[in-house]
Structure 1
Amino acid sequence: MTDELLNGPRGRQFCLGVLTATRPEIWTLAARATASPQDQGLAGELAEALRSPASVEAAESADSKALLAGLTEAVDTARYWQQPDEADALLARPAIRLALGPVAQALTDALAAWWGRGFLDRDHQSFVQWTDERKGQPPDRGGEVRKLADWKAAVLADERQAAKRPKNPTANWGGWWSSTPTPSGLVTTTRSLPDLGAVNLLLVEDGLGWKQATVWPLVPRTDCRVYEIDGPAAWSELAARYPMDVSLSKRHDWWRTTGIAGPWLLPDWAAVAADYDGVHLTLWGYLTTAGLALAARPSAAGPSVAVLERTVLAGWNPDETYWLDDVLTPGAGPSDWRSEGSGRWSKQS
């Protein structure tokens, strides 16, 4: 489990984020080492601090506030349209990864104790409507078949158009880097917490700095079918079972973020909808999967199968479910929330 957390760039950032939230000296050391990547002395000093008893103790005693701070750091620093930043490069060094081992083990246990099983919490789902520039509106439920058909048509058109783009993956060209079924208008939900209307208020990749939101509780139908992305294997299998070739349209962005030229696959979300009503990314699935170039193969395939096609989980927020069918009904009344800064949201009366 520890290796899984440290294999992914978001998992490593999570570990560091929890420590920097509780030990300011770690933040200072990490900032200095990041700013001076050639200084091996600084990197060694950071590694020593990461594996110290004080860091392990901080990880073992991490409460929900510290864990959310680490998750927010992991999400806020995610980039899928550029090379890994200096912090990601630093955390990928073998010596730093090794030093984080005991911290990662402690945080794995702390995360499980706080979050529980990690799978879809059907009793506490909420949709977030950002309201900085408009009044909150109920989620646009229904019409999922049309929404997915429009999404698929747009992706295929983009792939055809991408044939005219530079073939060299290193060319200065960008496109739509996400692997989610967006923009489609599908309803998404995340879990609500006692003091937070929805996890999505805090954990949103490539956010636009929203300050106001309306949170709408929703209740999934009891018999709905949900695919759980709980780690790299689940994501790889989904892309292999419902393959959509996006090698041309993703080749520049995903080469920059992974260093691999493809070919690339996405799940065909219109096809996935024939078998599942929703697809849920667990917190653990996010931390261990996002940003990795993974072989797209069915779960039954053995390690000897040649890697011909890969896939990347990108742009999907932790604990987020994309609903592919109209299986949601309104729950309790909506509530308005306002950002207080520094990762804090308050419910408005």
Structure 2
Amino acid sequence: MTDDLLSGPRGRQFCLGVLAATQPEIWTVAARSASSPQDHGLASELAEALGSPAAVSAAESAGGQALMAGLTGAVDAARYWQQPDETDALLAQPAIRLALGPIAHALADALAAWWGPGFLDGDHQSFVQWTDERKGQPPVPGGAARTLADWIAAALADERQAAERPKNPAANWGGWWWSTPRPSELLTTTRSLPDLGAIGLLLVEDSIGWKQATVWPLVPRPDARVYEIDGPAAWTGLAARYPMDVSLAKRHDWWRTTGIAGRWLVPDWSAVAGDYDGVHLTLWGYLTTAGRALAARPSAGPSVAVLERTVLAGWDPDETYWLNDVLTPGAAPSDWRSDGSGRWSRQG
């Protein structure tokens, strides 16, 4: 499990973020080292700090507040349309990854104890509706088939049009970098916590800084078929089973974020809907999978070569995309407001 948590950029940022919440001096050294990548002395200082008994002890005793701080930092730093930032590059260095080993081992246990079972918590699901600009209407748990039809039509059109874009993956060109059914009108939910209407208030990739939201509890049908993305194998398996070629549309963005040029797949969500009503990305699945260039379909035969890869991008931790109409309204909605520093409070 330790290797899994350190295999991807989001997991490594999570480990550093948890320590930063309780050991600010470590964050100071990390920031200095990240801004001066040629200074090997700073990198050595960081590796020594990460391997110190104090750092390991902090990870072993990390509670919900520190774990949430680490998660928030990891999610905020996600960028799938540009090169890895300085901190991601720093944490990918072999010596730093090695020093993070005991930290990752302790945090894997702490995260499991704090969060509990990683699979979908069907009794506590809520839809977050951002209301900074206007009061929203109640979510309508219907029309998923039409929405998916519109999504695949747009995705296929985007792939066709991308044939006219520069062939050089390093060209200055951006596009539709998500691997999810986004942008779309599909309903998504995340788990509610005792003092937070929905985890989706805090853990949002590519957030634009919303400060007001209405949280709507929604209840999935007891017999809803949910696919769990709990790690890299579950994600690549989905892309391989329901392949959709997006090599042209993702060529530039995913080359920048992974450094790899080649063929790319995402799941055909309209096909996935034939077998599953929802797809849930667990917290662990996010930390171990997001942002990585993963082999989706290796070549057959004696030679080992990767024919196609896939990237999990633009999917928030614990978020479930509902591909079929299996939701009904739950309890009364609640309004929430952020103080701008990451703390949300219930209004009224």
TM-score range, shorter chain: over 0.9
Poorly superposed stretches of 4+, deviation over 2 Å: 301-306
The DSSP-based 3-state class of the residue aligned with 2:6 is helix
Q: Quote the sequence identity (%).
A: 83
Q: Show the counterpart of 1:41.
A: 41
Q: Show the counterpart of 1:293.
A: 293
Conserved? CA contact 2:152–2:268, under 8 Å = yes
Q: TM-score with structure 1 length normalisation?
A: 0.98
The residue type paired with residue 330 of structure 2 is: G
Instruction: Tell me the alpha carbon deviations over residues 209-245 of structure 1, each in whole angstroms, 9 at most, x when there is no partner.
Output: 0000000011110000000000000000000000000
Conserved? CA contact 1:140–1:185, under 8 Å = no
Q: Show the counterpart of 1:337.
A: 336
Conserved? CA contact 1:127–1:216, under 8 Å = yes
**What CA RMSD, in Å, does the superposition of the two structures yield over aligned residues?**
1.3
Instruction: Tell me the alpha carbon deviations over residues 16-49 of structure 1, each in whole angstroms, 9 at most, x when there is no partner.
Output: 0000011110111111111111100001001100
Shift of 1:184: 1.6
Conserved? CA contact 1:127–1:190, under 8 Å = yes
Instruction: Tell me the alpha carbon deviations over residues 243-277 of structure 1, each in whole angstroms, 9 at most, x when there is no partner.
Output: 00000000000000001112000100000000000
The residue type paired with residue 161 of structure 1 is: Q
Q: Show the counterpart of 1:154.
A: 154
The DSSP-based 3-state class of the residue aligned with 1:309 is strand
The residue type paired with residue 228 of structure 1 is: E
The residue type paired with residue 62 of structure 1 is: A
Where does the alignment leave 5 or more consecutive residues of structure 1 unmatched? none
Shift of 1:312: 0.3
Q: Give the number of aligned pairs.
A: 347
The DSSP-based 3-state class of the residue aligned with 2:73 is helix
The residue type paired with residue 227 of structure 1 is: Y
The residue type paired with residue 158 of structure 1 is: D
Aligned partners of 1:307, 1:234: CA distance in 2, in Å?
A: 17
The residue type paired with residue 348 of structure 1 is: Q
Q: Show the counterpart of 1:62.
A: 62
Conserved? CA contact 2:125–2:192, under 8 Å = yes
Aligned partners of 1:252, 1:303: CA distance in 2, in Å?
A: 31
Shift of 1:306: 2.9
Q: Show the counterpart of 1:87.
A: 87
Conserved? CA contact 2:297–2:307, under 8 Å = no
Aligned partners of 2:133, 2:181: CA distance in 1, in Å?
A: 24
Q: Show the counterpart of 1:248.
A: 248
Q: Show the counterpart of 1:308.
A: 307
The residue type paired with residue 38 of structure 1 is: Q
Aligned partners of 1:347, 1:232: CA distance in 2, in Å?
A: 36
Q: 1:142 to 1:293 in 2, by over 3 A?
A: same
Conserved? CA contact 1:69–1:343, under 8 Å = no
Aligned partners of 2:342, 2:317: CA distance in 1, in Å?
A: 16
Where does the alignment leave 5 or more consecutive residues of structure 2 unmatched? none
Shift of 1:305: 5.0
Shift of 1:340: 1.5
